[in-house]
Amino acid sequence: MLEIAGIDHIVLRTSMLKEMLNFYCDVLGCRVERETSEELGLIQLRAGTALIDLVTVDGKLGRMGGGAPTEKNNNLDHFCLQLKPISEEAIQRHLKLHDIETDGFDKRYGAQGFGQSIYIQDPEGNTVELRSQL
């Protein structure tokens, strides 16, 4: 059984990086925790114990998500759930038991630092990242 400890991070796609940084940092009080290369197009903001990732739609990561957000095209790329301690093998067994397909674990950066995580899809096709740090 998986137990959720909290939300690790959400990923928002943007074509208005300056305005998004102003809103989340200057208005809401987040701070820039980590920036990647401009080519990759990712800025990670600290929001309490979680992160808000801003991904530019014209960067490498943003291009993988399709066009720029509009009123009809969402800008949420995925969200990540932090699980209570559980092994990768136990997570994979649990997902297989529920007929959830996966591509396996990979090392990624989240609110708790680098760790192994796995992507799955919910019934509506939303991407959910699961991570647990033992």
Q: What is the mean pLDDT of the chain?
A: 87
Angle value at C-alpha 121, between 117 and 126, nearest 5 degrees: 110
Residue 118 Cα distances to 31, 43, 103, 108, angstroms: 26, 21, 7, 9
Statement: residue 89 has pLDDT above 90: yes
Number of domains the chain contains:
1
The boundaries of the domain holding residue 57 are 4-131
CA angle 28, 31, 36 (to 5 degrees): 130
SS3 label, residue 9: strand
**Which amino acid is present at 130?**
L
> Which CATH number belongs to the domain containing residue 83 in this structure?
3.10.180.10
pTM to 2 decimals? 0.73
In this prediction, residues 77-102 reach a mean pLDDT of 90
